[in-house]
């Protein structure tokens, strides 16, 4: 165990973790950020952000680079390649965070490990991952220039990424298991407009699921099934992009903090207190997260503000949210 006790250890250097680190280090709290890979999180995989207030357009890596520099300029320590594997409450009320052979201790912890891509779980998916099967159009679209790709999904990411892929691929077939999309209206309209253009490279197949991915060393076709008629076909293509949602990266927290059935961290959603005193949560891994860059950043800020209350007076942890009125009273 390292000798020094940090005021706060932040697990995850995505937007939530970096925002928390900015506030805590600027408040002169001794701050350590543990990151499994390198700072960035999901947003580092996108090349176009248009909905971060005050910035008309920026790429993910560019934004993260600014955040990282800003955080480090206030003295926060960032340890990359450091995956938190276990947390434990110590007898002196501090919290230990284990990372490979290392053990760090802090008075408070902010959990910000975000989420990961959900898999389809069909034959061929694992074998052909990286050989035509992808979960990130923004990262991999240029590899499919002039090719035919199938995309799977019906949410915002699926539609955004499908539209992005049409700039590179010769043909894009979007399959969706339902007969309408759950993405925002503006995106659905853009997608339908694109598919309706003369000689469009975009095809939409509703009520269709992928049953298998086939090919040796590269994707050659995808098994498709019409869920209404039951008709199956082998659909030739060069790649499959899965946009099936996210899973919280919280398996290492099982048995330490309370999680929902789907693995999201339970918290009070106002002060972001978890079920363990001194441990806050921020970003996409928490219950009720809006899964957005701006909200992840907002969470990081709230958690870093609230840890001051706990450090000042630990009994604050059990106080109800102040000024909170019962429904119907506001």
Ligand X SMILES: Cc1cc2nc3c(=O)[nH]c(=O)nc-3n(C[C@H](O)[C@H](O)[C@H](O)COP(=O)(O)OP(=O)(O)OC[C@H]3O[C@@H](n4cnc5c(N)ncnc54)[C@H](O)[C@@H]3O)c2cc1C
Site residues, ligand X (CB under 6 A): 11-17, 34-37, 40-43, 45-46, 49, 51, 83-84, 112-115, 136, 138, 157, 249, 252, 283-284, 291-294, 296
Cα separations (Å) of 88 from 73, 198, 248? Answer: 30, 60, 20
Q: Does 285 qualify as catalytic in the annotation?
A: no
Distance CA 193, CA 213 (A): 29
What minimum distance in Å lies between the beta carbon of 179 and ligand X? 25
Catalytic residue, from 7, 140, 238, 284: name it. 140
Gap between the Cα atoms of 148 and 126, Å rounded: 20
CB burial readout 110-130, b (16+ within 10 A) else e:
bbbbbbebeebebebbeebee
CB-based contacts of 91: which residues, under 8 Å, 6+ apart? none
Which has the closest alpha carbon to 261: 250, 272, 276, 274? Answer: 250
CB of 140 to ligand X, least distance (A): 11
316-319-325-327 Cα dihedral, nearest 10 degrees: 130
Would you say 224 or 285 has its CB closer to ligand X?
285
Instruction: Give yes or no: 139 in active site.
Output: yes
Measured from the CB atom, the residue of 134 and 221 that comes closer to ligand X is: 134
Which listed residue (27, 59, 136, 226) is catalytic? Answer: 136
Of 139, 226, 268, 269, which is the active-site residue? 139
The conformational region for residue 288 under phi > 0 = left, psi -120 to 50 = alpha, else beta, is: left
The residue (of 133 and 224) whose beta carbon lies closer to ligand X is: 133
Q: Which is nearer to ligand X, 36 or 107 (CB)?
A: 36
Which residues have C-beta within 8 Å of that of residue 97, sequence separation ≥ 6?
9, 11, 34, 84, 86, 87, 103, 104, 105, 106, 109
Beta-carbon count within 10 A of 195 CB:
16
Nearer Cβ to ligand X, position 52 or 74? Answer: 52
What minimum distance in Å lies between the beta carbon of 16 and ligand X?
A: 3
- 299 catalytic residue (yes or no): no
Least distance (Å) between residue 274 CB and ligand X: 15
For the bound state, the minimum distance from the C-beta of residue 29 to ligand X, rounded and expressed in Å, comes to: 19
Catalytic residue ranges:
136, 139-140
């Amino acid at each position: 165990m390292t000798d020094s006790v940090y005021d706060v250890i932040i697990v995850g250097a995505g937007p939530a973790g970096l925002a928390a680190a900015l506030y805590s280090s600027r408040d002169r709290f001794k701050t350590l950020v543990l990151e499994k890979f390198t700072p960035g999180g999901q947003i580092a995989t996108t090349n176009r952000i248009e909905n971060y207030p005050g910035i008309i357009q920026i790429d993910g890596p560019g934004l993260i680079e600014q955040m990282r520099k800003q955080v480090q300029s206030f003295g926060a320590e960032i340890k990359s390649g450091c995956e938190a594997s276990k947390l434990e409450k110590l007898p002196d009320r501090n919290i230990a965070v284990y990372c490979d052979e290392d053990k760090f201790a802090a008075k408070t912890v902010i959990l910000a490990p975000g989420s990961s891509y959900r898999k389809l779980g069909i034959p061929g998916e694992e074998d052909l991952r990286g050989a035509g099967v992808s979960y990130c159009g923004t990262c991999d679209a240029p590899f499919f220039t002039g090719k035919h790709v199938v995309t799977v999904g019906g949410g915002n990411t699926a539609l955004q990424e499908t539209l992005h892929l049409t700039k590179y691929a010769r043909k894009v077939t979007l399959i969706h298991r339902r007969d309408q999309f759950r993405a925002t209206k503006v995106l659905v309209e853009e997608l339908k407009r694109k598919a309706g253009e003369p000689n469009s490279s975009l095809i939409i197949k509703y009520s269709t699921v992928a049953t298998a991915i086939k090919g040796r060393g590269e994707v050659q076709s995808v098994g498709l099934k019409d869920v209404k008629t039951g008709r199956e076909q082998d659909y030739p293509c060069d790649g499959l992009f899965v946009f099936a949602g996210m899973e919280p990266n919280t398996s290492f927290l099982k048995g330490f903090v309370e999680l929902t059935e789907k693995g999201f961290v339970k918290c009070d959603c106002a002060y972001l207190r978890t079920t363990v005193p001194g441990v806050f949560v921020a970003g996409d891994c928490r219950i009720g997260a809006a899964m957005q860059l701006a909200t992840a950043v907002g969470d990081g800020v709230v958690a870093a503000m609230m840890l001051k209350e706990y450090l000042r007076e630990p009994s604050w942890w059990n106080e109800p949210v102040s000024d909170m009125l019962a429904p119907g009273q506001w």
